[in-house]
Structure 1
Amino acid sequence: MNADPTHVIAIARSWLGTPYHDQASLRGVGCDCLGLARGVWREVVGPEPFPIPPYSRDWGEAGPREVLAEGARLMMPEIAPSDVIPGALVLFRMTPRAIAKHVGILTGPDTFLHAYERLGVIEEPLTLSWRRRIAFAFLFPLR
């Protein structure tokens, strides 16, 4: 069973306005895109199943491993990017042929929420440009 998407979206939206802070995961204080997903996980599912090692801003610039997708697969059901629904966690490729290294949560059929440098946690349209970048999608499990 998966978590109720309306609950996931409500929790995710409670992070709106949280300032951007690299490697942080505290609602209202600071987070990056992964920190947002981690915070939503803690409130929707429970304690994080494993610690996230420190990472640099350029952590995924080299190498073929889909580190974020591999981690998500350990704890979340995967769905096809074409089957995304509100409440899904999505992983984006920011450039073609690069690994997926940006995370967002769909809040509607055409909107998503993510933490963006200089802007913090925002909700914005899932434009065609963003939609084309979705490489992986996952559902939050039940507690």
Structure 2
Amino acid sequence: MKKILIVGGGGYVGTELTQKLLKNNYVTVYDLFYFDWLIKNKNKVKNSKRLFSIKKDILEVNKNDLKNIEIVCDLAGIANDPSSDLNKKYSTKINYEARYRFAKIAKESGVKRYIFNSTCSIYGFNKKSI
């Protein structure tokens, strides 16, 4: 079993990924959980002794958070969200600076694999009918 940390695991993609990975791995979800992920999805991952969570802002990561972690799946970020337009400096800080820093600390902590994922919002909205 691998020890995997999912950054931004409280969103839709993170929730689905957590379910899949819990079958054969230890999973730590690192998120602020703005949307009450643990409450909404407790039935999906119920009774898992291999699930852990760190309720923390990505800006606050430190080496201790990544202790014994082998793989990081990075799903964090503000994507296609009106709040990103309201506070562009904060969005830049999260989407670029914090993620870069997180990857750097992961490397320094001995994480073997860092998987950087995009978002389903990357495709944007199609104005034409498909």
Normalising by the residue count of structure 1, what TM-score does the alignment of the two structures yield?
0.27
Compare relative contact order (CA 8 Å, sep 6+) and give the higher one, 1 or 2. Answer: 1
Structure ranking higher in helix proportion: 2
Structure ranking higher in strand proportion: 1
